[in-house]
Structure 1
């Protein structure tokens, strides 16, 4: 678990992703994150702060390291199985978001119950600019957080939503000064940890359990469409343009 650092502050556990500056994830990192969350909640943690080192919260998957063809779909299926485990964390999760929460990184941020954002935070479902379908359960979580119309706009356009618009839309729940995102998240988590822990766990299961079930079902559709679209010329062009930091030139094939 070398890329996940775990700290305890009373009843609050801090889980830090340590793959800066972009904090790309893969199946192993998500598995370690889910394992760490399970361990701290079993050990009495009543709330979790999810954070990351470096410039960005999480830029999703690293496409330069992704396999191709059927191997990519198989790898993503295993990755999403670990993603579901993050939705299943039994206690409240507060994400501290600095910089980008992009693609799958947005999915990870929305798997948390709450999000604290700094002035440089940006939330982006950039899949249409990469030429393929959204994943990480965003088909469910994004409309729940921002509403159907705003979710549709974000997905179709791939544009980034910055603070303070993210606060207005509900992508972020609380504001923090630059560099204080984690501090604000920890204070909020400590407040939540002061409530009756059995009651809060029960409430979270009532409120979030059905969402997790919907995410689990949606992931099948998301992955099937991703696997189909990864084989297109548009996806190749979109991913390459992103790597080169250029505007994509899509041709509809």
Structure 2
């Protein structure tokens, strides 16, 4: 069993470098005696989304980011995500790249793209319906509402709900349960159940990026970003 830890506290915002590092870590564990991986993070939040504090040229292109994100779905070993605090936007996409998620009542999830006048990315249009069902995914994506841990657990987004202090230990216990199984069987069964998922994510991110690029040019997108920065309700006009 192995632990892959995000170390950008407190919010653990991601960029191309971080997603590449996670994908490289997964790849390095493919051929060694590792039967399960725990993806966890330092600090208050699992991942509060993309790092917009630097220009895109510095943090890497979205196209390259999505290419690296697709690599996460090609990992051969089962992944359990320990989700403390927030998993927002692309951070939710990162949590959904794992096979299982463990969280607490204080965990928070949001696919808030529609509230920003934007289109979901990181393959969420494929992964969220796969985990919670088409109807619930459509509701969350259209409303952009934030969910607490209990609602996420009831919908199947969280596989296990524990106390706040027990999120990482519980994720490790979950991975240990998996690791007691035969390693070749684990890889084989997982590959069967996730067959075609990486390819679906690649196709989805290509479409998501095209829609994101188109919507970035709209007045509603600029209003959504401004409203979020000013902590007010957005006033959308459909332009």
Question: Which TM class, normalised by the smaller chain length?
Answer: over 0.9
1:207 corresponds to: 193
Q: Is the 8 A contact 1:120 1:162 kept in 2?
A: yes
**What is the aligned-residue RMSD (CA, Å)?**
1.5
Q: Does 1:30 align with 2:19?
A: yes
Question: How far does the alpha carbon of each residue in 1:145-186 deviate from its partner, in whole angstroms, 9 at most, with x for none?
Answer: 111111111000000111211111001000111121010000
Q: Is the 8 A contact 1:107 1:136 kept in 2?
A: yes
SS of the residue 1:179 aligns to: helix
SS of the residue 1:51 aligns to: strand
2:118 to 132, 138, 155: 132
Q: Distance in 2 between matches of 1:244 and 1:179?
A: 32
1:231 corresponds to: 217
Q: Distance in 1 between matches of 2:168 and 2:55?
A: 30
Deviation at 1:247, TM superposition (A): 2.0
Q: Distance in 1 between matches of 2:55 and 2:92?
A: 19
Q: Distance in 2 between matches of 1:27 and 1:195?
A: 34
Deviation at 1:246, TM superposition (A): 2.4
Question: How far does the alpha carbon of each residue in 1:22-59 deviate from its partner, in whole angstroms, 9 at most, with x for none?
Answer: 11100110001111111133232110000111111111
1:182 to 168, 183, 191: 168
Runs of 4 or more above 6 Å deviation: none
SS of the residue 2:101 aligns to: strand
Structure 2 runs not aligned, ≥5 long: none
1:169 to 155, 159, 164: 155
Structure 1 runs not aligned, ≥5 long: 1-11
Within 5 Å, which residues of 2 pair with 1:21-170? 21-67=10-56, 75-170=61-156
SS of the residue 1:42 aligns to: coil
SS of the residue 1:168 aligns to: helix
